[in-house]
Structure 1
Amino acid sequence: MKKFLLGTVGLIALGISAPASAADLAARPYTKAPPMVAAIYDWSGFYVGANGGYGSSRKCFDSVGFVGFPTAAVRDNCGDATGGLAGGQIGYRWQSASWVFGLEAQGDWADLKGSSPSTLLAGVTEHVKINGIGLFTGQVGYAWNNVLFYVKGGAAVVGDHYRTSFTAGDVLISSASETRWGGTVGAGLEFGFAPNWSVGFEYDHLFMGSRDLAFSGPLAPPPVLPVERIHQDVDMATIRVNYRFGGPIVAKY
């Protein structure tokens, strides 16, 4: 009987002490969840890209006499040269907070062509063509993460070719070519769709001013060189794709 009582007391003591031993085990340390990371698109860095689109040039011709024999300007005609263009661009941007600044050079092959009848010479048609466009601009933009709106301005250069012909049979009378410098302003919207890639739309207006140009040809040999004062503006709208070198995002907590 004594042994039975001692055994019972031991079992009760063992049952009481077991929970206490479990409670004495070290608690698992609490680990705080890592903070959320916000990925901010960074527009800084060098980039290269390609563009393509549509252009339109408004040209007006004033007759101002002949070489060595100037006369008062008389309006001849006005016409449009339209067509496609394609080329590339290279530039550098740097970002400060949400503001983005940049420099860019762009060169495009162009096929802007048009013709219009002369109002001074019956049966004569004047043809115009732009075969190349270059832009050298600075940019100022504002970024909403991976969306960038910017304005730009700077210098522009175009390659022009002109010719006059008899309307019947397109027989050449005279021609002239020039490389003309002017100014440009524009605006664009660009979207970063991948770490180093962006796509955008841009519109540019080129102020090419007016310039006197002497024409020569089979039916206008020296010294009989007619001079035309040619006024010119150009509008161009392009889709652009750029690849930017360097780190695409900055992670901030």
Structure 2
Amino acid sequence: MKRFLVATVAILGATGAQAADVGARPPYTKAAQMGAVSNWTGFYAGLNVGYGFNDPVATFMPNDVVSNNVFSFSNPNPAPSVAYDVKGVLGGAQAGYNLQVSPNWLISLETDFQGSDIKGSAATSYALIRRPGQVNAQQNVEWFWTLRARAGLLATDKLLVYGTGGFAYGSVHANSTLSNTIGYTATAGGFSAACGPASAPCYTGPTTRTMAGYTVGGGFEYAAWRNFSFKAEYLYVNLGSSSITSAAPTTPGRAVSSYGTHFSDLDFHVLRVGVNYHF
């Protein structure tokens, strides 16, 4: 009987110790999961930084007899189209929701906002009374925003490889200016351009507008530890084409002379890296 009591006390003591140990363990949270076998379902948010670049084209067109004949925007000496680089750094934040639909597949909805220094300009020459001049076109992407779907393969429990695509929207500042090495006043057909002094921009057309388009791309994301993941991503962003009108100062009683600049699709490639926190 003594032996039985001793054995019973020993078993109860071991069971109590085990229960106390279980009670002291932290709950099996998602943070713990991300450190071992990742569960990707849930909300996330993070930051990113990157670089954007491409080479759109600007084409110039006369709007009246002054810009057409005096400034040679048409034959025999037209101001030629120009291709120019837009490039610059960008940075911003992203947020989204993941749904892990199976052990190996995931779908998401993600949005991001980017501050941008993507910009570029180029000049083309023309002749006015055998004096050299130039027409300059420029564009600057001030910010852009995307709303995208993601679909990905979990190559491992921590590595996500995905494609993405959706809507893009951005603010673009554009301008086109004309200047010449002499000051002048030109009139024809009721239109006039009173330009001076020499080499100062005469025709100008600064415009800031929001433009809409689309984006597609892909990347990979790695659940490094606990709630944090790191990603590298490529996006192609297309905000569409646009046109602006550049006008000159005029003399009293005359209509304003102007010319148009057509910008091809403002599309650019984005390479960026980022970090996400999974809630």
Q: Could you state the TM-score of these two structures normalised by the residue count of structure 1?
A: 0.72
* In 2: Cα distance, 1:187 partner to 1:218 partner: 49
Of residues 228, 251, 255 in structure 2, which corresponds to 1:197? 228
Equivalence for 2:84:
79
Equivalence for 1:20:
none
1:40 is paired with a residue whose SS is coil
Relative to structure 1, the CA distance from residue 218 to residue 162 in structure 2 (aligned partners, 3 Å threshold; closer, same or farther) is farther
Equivalence for 2:261:
228
Is residue 140 of structure 1 aligned with residue 173 of structure 2? no
> Contact 1:164–1:172 (CA<8 Å) still a contact in 2?
no
Equivalence for 1:104:
110
Larger radius of gyration: 1
Unaligned runs of 5+ in 1: 1-25, 30-37, 246-253
Is residue 156 of structure 1 aligned with residue 131 of structure 2? no
Equivalence for 2:189:
none
| Count, aligned residues | 209
Equivalence for 2:138:
127
* In 1: Cα distance, 2:143 partner to 2:258 partner: 26
Is residue 91 of structure 1 aligned with residue 96 of structure 2? yes
Residue deviations 1:192-250 (CA, integer Å, cap 9, x gap)? 1111100110000012332333335768x9743432221121111111110011xxxxx
Is residue 55 of structure 1 aligned with residue 52 of structure 2? yes
Relative to structure 1, the CA distance from residue 81 to residue 186 in structure 2 (aligned partners, 3 Å threshold; closer, same or farther) is same
Residue deviations 1:112-171 (CA, integer Å, cap 9, x gap)? 122211255732322221111111100000112010011000111121112234488674
Amino acid at match of 2:45: V
* In 2: Cα distance, 1:186 partner to 1:147 partner: 17
Bigger drift between 221-230 and 205-214 goes to: 221-230
> Contact 2:247–2:256 (CA<8 Å) still a contact in 1?
no
* In 2: Cα distance, 1:214 partner to 1:191 partner: 48
Amino acid at match of 1:84: V
1:173 shift after superposition: 3.7
Unaligned runs of 5+ in 2: 1-6, 12-32, 68-72, 128-132, 182-198
1:184 is paired with a residue whose SS is strand
1:191 shift after superposition: 0.6
RMSD between aligned residues: 3.2
Equivalence for 1:116:
122
1:41 is paired with a residue whose SS is coil
Matches for 1:171-190 after TM superposition, within 5 Å: 171=201, 173-174=203-204, 175-190=206-221
> Contact 2:125–2:134 (CA<8 Å) still a contact in 1?
no
* In 2: Cα distance, 1:114 partner to 1:85 partner: 14
Is residue 210 of structure 1 aligned with residue 222 of structure 2? no
Bigger drift between 128-137 and 156-165 goes to: 156-165
> Contact 1:159–1:179 (CA<8 Å) still a contact in 2?
yes
* In 2: Cα distance, 1:193 partner to 1:229 partner: 47
Q: Identity, % of aligned pairs?
A: 26
> Contact 1:106–1:134 (CA<8 Å) still a contact in 2?
yes
Amino acid at match of 2:263: I
* In 1: Cα distance, 2:47 partner to 2:232 partner: 12
* In 1: Cα distance, 2:180 partner to 2:119 partner: 16
* In 2: Cα distance, 1:195 partner to 1:204 partner: 27
Amino acid at match of 1:212: S
Amino acid at match of 2:99: W
